[in-house]
Chain A
Amino acid sequence: MDAAQAVHEKFLGALASGRLPSRADAPDPAAAGLSRGRATDIFLSQLTSRQMDRLSRHLQARGEGFYTIGSSGHEGNAAVAAALRVTDMAFLHYRSNAFQLHRSRQLPGGTPTWDMLLSFAASSEDPISGGRHKVIGSKSLAIPPQTSTIASHLPKAVGAAFSIGIARRLGMTGLPLPDDAVVLTSFGDASANHSTAQGAFNTAGWAAFQGSPMPLIFLCEDNGIGISTRTPTGWIEAQFRHRAGLHYIKCDGTDLVSAYAGAAEAADYARRTRKPVFLHMGTVRLYGHAGSDVQGAYLPKALIEADEARDPLLAGAALMTEHGWMSAGEIAEAYQEIGATLARQAEAAIQRPKIITPAHVMQSLIPPKREVARVNTPSDEDRKAMFGSDAGQMDKPMHMARLLSWALADLMLAHKEIAVMGEDVGPKGGVYNVTAKLHQRFGSARVVNTLLDEQAILGLAIGMAHNGFIPMPEIQFLAYVHNAEDQIRGEAATLSFFSDGQYSNPMVIRIAGLGYQKGFGGHFHNDNSLAVFRDIPGVILAVPSNGRDATQMLRECVRLAREEQRVIVFVEPIALYMTRDLHKEGDGLWTSVYEAPGEGAPIRLGDVGVHGDGTDLAIVTYGNGYYLSRQAEKLLADDGIKARVIDLRWLGPVDEAKLVAAVGDAKRILIVDECRITGSQSEALMATFVERTPDKKLARIAADDSFIPLGKAATLTLPSRDSIIAAAKELLA
């Protein structure tokens, strides 16, 4: 017999025979603060969640449902929902149907079962994802959407919790999270082992250990197994009972009173002390990991039966009958009635519209534009006061690092919701001094020195963005982002997609990167691949080549984040931070005078930079490649070759129309790409020009597929001024 059916029949059999488990050792509902009405209401949500799991399997068998990872055995999380407020943001794992159903009881007018069935059926009317994915989530219930979890949602939960204290310190109001909110995040015992989860526990503990507010509940729903691999008995408790910075509470999720008592204690502790709690809730996983999983293949029968005996519905039924709140007959009747209602709803839900066009699928890749408060333009006096002695330097040409730091300061002065976070961004001023003096000017609430963990930095940014901030995290080196890549790829970038544009996490991620650092640092400080960002739908990738552009582009990035809710990666070429000269020492051609906000020509998303109007050749490039190509262009001119140099500035997305227009009547195109040729922008550019300008001669040079060595060998694998000249001459030959 199908395992789900077996559990179903066991439950009905127990009700019919009256053989329900003893609750002798379980807590008393009144002592836990649970009235008859509240306890019974939780129990009804649990029955509903269970029937929904059964239904999802039937729908899948009919080809009408597309998701069968169930919540059966985890229905204790309904009691957790009861112990929290509807405004306590909840980042949930996939066995949280009962939580969402029951949280909806706090907000009149919701249709939680209907909504969930639309989601099972992948209807475009599914109110959270618009039919794009089966996620647990709801805008009105403060549950950002979450799908298959590898614990990747834990870092942002830490960030969201941290943001509550920051908002309070800054006196910000009207944010999504009330200032007495707590944040909940749930996960299984197996994913507690994930390095991302471990990083989140560590970050929360690290912050709390030094007194930073962190009103956060880590809810570990421990069912003792991850797909087929069993968690060693006692492992979770042994690991977390005495972990620094975390307060440990244990409860039994198979008994709704115990679950409620534990959750209420956790909520009270987190809300009162604003410190993180590890709520360890025992659960069971009934009938396998998902619909296709037959746990009899890897678990002994006795163990499966022992788990089934701990079915939370049995304990719930025992609670109801022992208090006379519902008879066994009434429970069976309610359970069957819920099943019948869901079946009717499902027939209606599967008739609702589906997504049928690619355009509709992609509609929410990019969040909608939003109305934002008008910029509070700081007065000259305010700016002078902020810049202090720097103000006197502003009429002098400066290098990119300095111009960026001033641009950041001006942005933070104008937009109170901007916060900067990263390792060493505080008093030290960041790895290359770009955040210099920000800490002194804006304080530690807005310039947050983090621990050394890129997942934590990005998670902090994502979580703060959920609460209305515009985070500008700094990653010290491009090579360091890779251990945290999923925070951008799997989390930040997908949020709008999975929430049909209802949730967003606008931010500008600043990353120092790319090569040419005169032999210092080797691969990890000269990483020259941007491929990791180039294929993520919806993410903007900006690479400025000089200080003036960097200033204007950073302002555009903040505008894109504020007004269009975009996620932007802003890669700053390290080798150009302090570069002053272009052709010869002392020419100062790579410096510029700071353009205050409102001054200078703005650079909008997709705008390319063009130097010269030569028609022999257009060199298309970016970053260090642009700098080297400018050197090459002068020497080519000396040889009578008239070139123009085009700076892409924006690598994702490239505005092809603007690019082709910039190439104009140039007869040949040379693409210069400082990144490793495989996966580099040059590949896409070659394709673009083949398709759009088939009559033009085309060539490219890019870096070899190698890591960057030390010393004089550092640039051997990279394009150089001379290799650009050689390639240009070959193209003209």
Chain B
Amino acid sequence: MSARKTAIVVAPGRGTYGKGELGSIARFHGARFADLVADFDAQRRDRGQPTVTELDGADRFSVATHMRGDVAAPLIYTATALDYLSIDREKYDIVAALGNSMGWYSALALGGAVSVEDGFRISNAMGLNSQTHGPGGQILLQVVDEDWRPVPGLREKLLDLAAAIDARPDHALALSIDLAGMLVLAGNEEGLAALLAEAPPTPGRDPLRLAGHGPFHTALMFGSSDKARAELPVALFGRPDIPMVDGRGHIWRRFSSDPAEIWDYTFGHQILAPYDFALSVQVAVKEYAPDAIILPGPGDTLGGAIAQSLIGIGWQGMTSKADFMARQASDPILFSMGRADQRALVTGQR
């Protein structure tokens, strides 16, 4: 038996490259992956966009600039892909890839269904493209208590309310992303306003409107879907090298996955219907039983959702935040590469 451990990788979505991450791409990867960064920069330059190097190397973090889709997406992708390439493969055997929301585009590259360069092409295009929608956005609501256990009935109440609001004339509201401990609901302005007015009390912080986000993963994104199909051809896609778990919990297997079907899902269902991130994590751990879960890319905010997804199925006996924290302290299962100590364990570099 080799000492090599198995791991799944989970690519983060929007909102993960923040002030603390500024400069991290150059710091972590500038030397080792200069060629790739140069390729990404060239792609941006060709489209008349500021380069990754420029954005990552800015003097200060600007919400107005860095949080915009056409900037955030390529930064997050770059950090994610290069982190992935930095994982010590002598130590970790990656057995499946998945992502959250735009993290799916990263997962395509991590899984080998597209090249690292084309992964950037797709993420960059979708960062801009995802701004193709009518008025609307996303609201984040917490549905677990401080010990990360579900508040009884709250999830159902919110989903029922969303369905009721959606049924009203001129209102649109639907589940956008299921993050286990949090739900992201998306809709048009009327729908979001009604939700904020009528939502039952939720634990933790108040419902949060996500700045700069569109009504992702809803039918309101049809323009984005059409545009993506028109500008990102099937030819970019191939068969994955490792299994990928998508936002429906479907497993795209090695060898058998049809590139045209991956393309169709990526620019169809994935854009227009809810992204069940919690389910994708649960499917991945059940079907691949990895020793570790690695979260590459900027920040560590997705770690909570991953942990809550595990708690949701009592994975390896973890049924609360306390269980998870104890496990992390004794025999960590989740490694966030945005945290220096955990990054070192995964990359073998200090």
Interface residues of A (CB under 8 A from B): 35-38, 40-41, 43-44, 108-111, 113-114, 325-326, 330, 334, 341, 344-345, 347-348, 351
Q: Is the CB of A40 within 8 A of B255?
A: yes
Q: Is the CB of B256 within 8 A of A111?
A: no
Q: Is the CB of B248 within 8 A of A351?
A: no
Please measure, in the bound complex, the distance between the C-alpha atom of A134 and the C-alpha atom of B20, giving whole angstroms: 52
Which of B60-68, B112-120, B280-288 participates in binding chain A? B280-288
Contact partner of A345 among B246, B248, B256, B287, CB < 8 A? B287
Determine the interface band of chain B, counting residues with CB < 8 A from chain A. Answer: 20 to 34
Please measure, in the bound complex, the distance between the C-alpha atom of A108 and the C-alpha atom of B261, giving whole angstroms: 14
Q: Across chains A and B, which 5 residue pairs bring their CB atoms closest together, nearest first? A: A109-B249, A108-B250, A37-B258, A108-B248, A40-B256
Q: Is the CB of B289 within 8 A of A345?
A: yes
Q: Is the CB of B256 within 8 A of A113?
A: no
Contact partner of A110 among B246, B249, B258, CB < 8 A? B249
Q: Is the CB of B286 within 8 A of A111?
A: yes
Add 7 more A-B contacts to A44-B256, A110-B283, A326-B255 (CB < 8 A). Answer: A35-B258, A41-B253, A109-B283, A341-B288, A344-B289, A345-B286, A351-B316
Q: Is the CB of B253 within 8 A of A44?
A: yes
Q: Whose C-beta in chain B lies nearest to the C-beta of A330? A: B255
Contact partner of A37 among B257, B286, B317, CB < 8 A? B257
CB-CB under 8 A for A111 and B287, given A341-B95, A351-B316, A351-B317: yes
Q: Is the CB of A348 within 8 A of B289?
A: yes
Q: Whose C-beta in chain B lies nearest to the C-beta of A344? A: B289
Q: Which residues of A lie under 8 Å from residue B276 when comparing CB positions?
A: 109
- The listed residue with most B CB atoms (<10 A of its CB), out of A40, A325, A334, is A40
Q: Is the CB of B248 within 8 A of A325?
A: no
Q: Is the CB of A108 within 8 A of B249?
A: yes
Interface string of B57-90 (1 = CB under 8 A from A): 0000000000000000000000000000000000
CB contact list, B244-289 vs A, under 8 A: 246, 248-250, 253-258, 261, 276, 279, 282-283, 286-289
A-B contact pairs, 28 of them (CB 8 A): A37-B256, A37-B257, A37-B258, A38-B256, A40-B255, A40-B256, A41-B256, A108-B248, A108-B250, A109-B250, A109-B279, A110-B249, A111-B286, A111-B287, A113-B287, A114-B286, A325-B255, A326-B255, A341-B95, A341-B289, A344-B6, A344-B289, A344-B290, A345-B287, A345-B289, A348-B286, A351-B316, A351-B317
Q: Which residues of B lie under 8 Å from residue A111 when comparing CB positions?
A: 282-283, 286-287
Q: Whose C-beta in chain B lies nearest to the C-beta of A325? A: B255
Q: Whose C-beta in chain A lies nearest to the C-beta of B253? A: A44
**Min CB distance, A462 to chain B, in Å?**
32
Please measure, in the bound complex, the distance between the C-alpha atom of A221 and the C-alpha atom of B191, giving whole angstroms: 55
Please measure, in the bound complex, the distance between the C-alpha atom of A344 and the C-alpha atom of B253, giving whole angstroms: 18
Interface string of B27-68 (1 = CB under 8 A from A): 000000000000000000000000000000000000000000
**Min CB distance, B260 to chain A, in Å?**
9
CB-CB under 8 A for A108 and B316, given A44-B255, A113-B287, A341-B289: no
Please measure, in the bound complex, the distance between the C-alpha atom of A43 and the C-alpha atom of B256, giving whole angstroms: 9
Q: Which residues of B lie under 8 Å from residue A40 when comparing CB positions?
A: 255-256
Contact partner of B288 among A41, A43, A326, A344, CB < 8 A? A344
Please measure, in the bound complex, the distance between the C-alpha atom of A41 and the C-alpha atom of B255, giving whole angstroms: 8
Q: Which residues of B lie under 8 Å from residue A347 when comparing CB positions?
A: 289
Please measure, in the bound complex, the distance between the C-alpha atom of A38 and the C-alpha atom of B257, giving whole angstroms: 8
Q: Which residues of B lie under 8 Å from residue A325 when comparing CB positions?
A: 255
Q: Which residues of A lie under 8 Å from residue B246 when comparing CB positions?
A: 108
CB contact list, B285-300 vs A, under 8 A: 286-290
**Min CB distance, A436 to chain B, in Å?**
48
A-side interface mostly: helix
- The listed residue with most A CB atoms (<10 A of its CB), out of B256, B258, B261, B317, is B256
Q: Which residues of B lie under 8 Å from residue A351 when comparing CB positions?
A: 316-317
Please measure, in the bound complex, the distance between the C-alpha atom of A110 and the C-alpha atom of B249, giving whole angstroms: 7
Q: Which residues of A lie under 8 Å from residue B6 when comparing CB positions?
A: 344
**Min CB distance, A114 to chain B, in Å?**
4
Q: Which residues of A lie under 8 Å from residue B257 when comparing CB positions?
A: 37
Interface string of B316-330 (1 = CB under 8 A from A): 110000000000000
Q: Which residues of A lie under 8 Å from residue B283 when comparing CB positions?
A: 109-111
Q: Which residues of A lie under 8 Å from residue B289 when comparing CB positions?
A: 341, 344-345, 347-348
Please measure, in the bound complex, the distance between the C-alpha atom of A36 and the C-alpha atom of B257, giving whole angstroms: 9
Q: Whose C-beta in chain A lies nearest to the C-beta of B313? A: A125
Q: Which residues of B lie under 8 Å from residue A37 when comparing CB positions?
A: 256-258, 261
**Min CB distance, A239 to chain B, in Å?**
37
**Min CB distance, B144 to chain A, in Å?**
21
Q: Which residues of A lie under 8 Å from residue B282 when comparing CB positions?
A: 111
**Min CB distance, B328 to chain A, in Å?**
18
Q: Which residues of A lie under 8 Å from residue B250 when comparing CB positions?
A: 108-109
**Min CB distance, B280 to chain A, in Å?**
9
Q: Is the CB of A348 within 8 A of B288?
A: no
Q: Is the CB of B248 within 8 A of A114?
A: no
Please measure, in the bound complex, the distance between the C-alpha atom of A43 and the C-alpha atom of B253, giving whole angstroms: 12
- The listed residue with most B CB atoms (<10 A of its CB), out of A37, A41, A347, is A37
Q: Which residues of B lie under 8 Å from residue A348 when comparing CB positions?
A: 286, 289, 316
**Min CB distance, B270 to chain A, in Å?**
11
Please measure, in the bound complex, the distance between the C-alpha atom of A344 and the C-alpha atom of B256, giving whole angstroms: 22
Please measure, in the bound complex, the distance between the C-alpha atom of A113 and the C-alpha atom of B288, giving whole angstroms: 10
CB contact list, B94-110 vs A, under 8 A: 95
Q: Which residues of A lie under 8 Å from residue B290 when comparing CB positions?
A: 344
Please measure, in the bound complex, the distance between the C-alpha atom of A301 and the C-alpha atom of B246, giving whole angstroms: 48
Please measure, in the bound complex, the distance between the C-alpha atom of A326 and the C-alpha atom of B261, giving whole angstroms: 19
Interface string of B163-175 (1 = CB under 8 A from A): 0000000000000
Q: Is the CB of A109 within 8 A of B316?
A: no
Please measure, in the bound complex, the distance between the C-alpha atom of A497 and the C-alpha atom of B258, giving whole angstroms: 40
Q: Which residues of A lie under 8 Å from residue B317 when comparing CB positions?
A: 351
Q: Which residues of B lie under 8 Å from residue A109 when comparing CB positions?
A: 248-250, 276, 279, 283
Please measure, in the bound complex, the distance between the C-alpha atom of A35 and the C-alpha atom of B239, giving whole angstroms: 14
Please measure, in the bound complex, the distance between the C-alpha atom of A341 and the C-alpha atom of B253, giving whole angstroms: 13
Please measure, in the bound complex, the distance between the C-alpha atom of A330 and the C-alpha atom of B256, giving whole angstroms: 12
**Min CB distance, A223 to chain B, in Å?**
27
Q: Whose C-beta in chain B lies nearest to the C-beta of A342? A: B289
Please measure, in the bound complex, the distance between the C-alpha atom of A409 and the C-alpha atom of B279, giving whole angstroms: 49
Q: Which residues of B lie under 8 Å from residue A43 when comparing CB positions?
A: 256
**Min CB distance, B108 to chain A, in Å?**
17
**Min CB distance, B261 to chain A, in Å?**
7
Please measure, in the bound complex, the distance between the C-alpha atom of A348 and the C-alpha atom of B287, giving whole angstroms: 10
- The listed residue with most B CB atoms (<10 A of its CB), out of A37, A108, A341, is A108
Q: Which residues of B lie under 8 Å from residue A326 when comparing CB positions?
A: 255
Please measure, in the bound complex, the distance between the C-alpha atom of A467 and the C-alpha atom of B261, giving whole angstroms: 33
Please measure, in the bound complex, the distance between the C-alpha atom of A717 and the C-alpha atom of B286, giving whole angstroms: 64
Please measure, in the bound complex, the distance between the C-alpha atom of A262 and the C-alpha atom of B257, giving whole angstroms: 24
Q: Which residues of A lie under 8 Å from residue B95 when comparing CB positions?
A: 341
Q: Is the CB of B254 within 8 A of A334?
A: yes
**Min CB distance, B5 to chain A, in Å?**
11
Please measure, in the bound complex, the distance between the C-alpha atom of A44 and the C-alpha atom of B256, giving whole angstroms: 8
Q: Whose C-beta in chain A lies nearest to the C-beta of B279? A: A109
**Min CB distance, A109 to chain B, in Å?**
3
Q: Which residues of A lie under 8 Å from residue B287 when comparing CB positions?
A: 111, 113-114, 341, 345
Q: Whose C-beta in chain B lies nearest to the C-beta of A347? A: B289
**Min CB distance, B250 to chain A, in Å?**
3
**Min CB distance, A175 to chain B, in Å?**
23
**Min CB distance, B318 to chain A, in Å?**
12
Please measure, in the bound complex, the distance between the C-alpha atom of A330 and the C-alpha atom of B253, giving whole angstroms: 13
Please measure, in the bound complex, the distance between the C-alpha atom of A719 and the C-alpha atom of B290, giving whole angstroms: 70
Please measure, in the bound complex, the distance between the C-alpha atom of A681 and the C-alpha atom of B171, giving whole angstroms: 64
Q: Which residues of A lie under 8 Å from residue B254 when comparing CB positions?
A: 334
Please measure, in the bound complex, the distance between the C-alpha atom of A106 and the C-alpha atom of B250, giving whole angstroms: 9
Q: Whose C-beta in chain A lies nearest to the C-beta of B246? A: A108
Q: Whose C-beta in chain A lies nearest to the C-beta of B265? A: A108
Q: Whose C-beta in chain B lies nearest to the C-beta of A36? A: B258
Please measure, in the bound complex, the distance between the C-alpha atom of A723 and the C-alpha atom of B66, giving whole angstroms: 98
Please measure, in the bound complex, the distance between the C-alpha atom of A341 and the C-alpha atom of B95, giving whole angstroms: 9
Q: Which residues of A lie under 8 Å from residue B253 when comparing CB positions?
A: 41, 44
Q: Whose C-beta in chain A lies nearest to the C-beta of B258? A: A37
**Min CB distance, B3 to chain A, in Å?**
15
Q: Which residues of B lie under 8 Å from residue A108 when comparing CB positions?
A: 246, 248-250
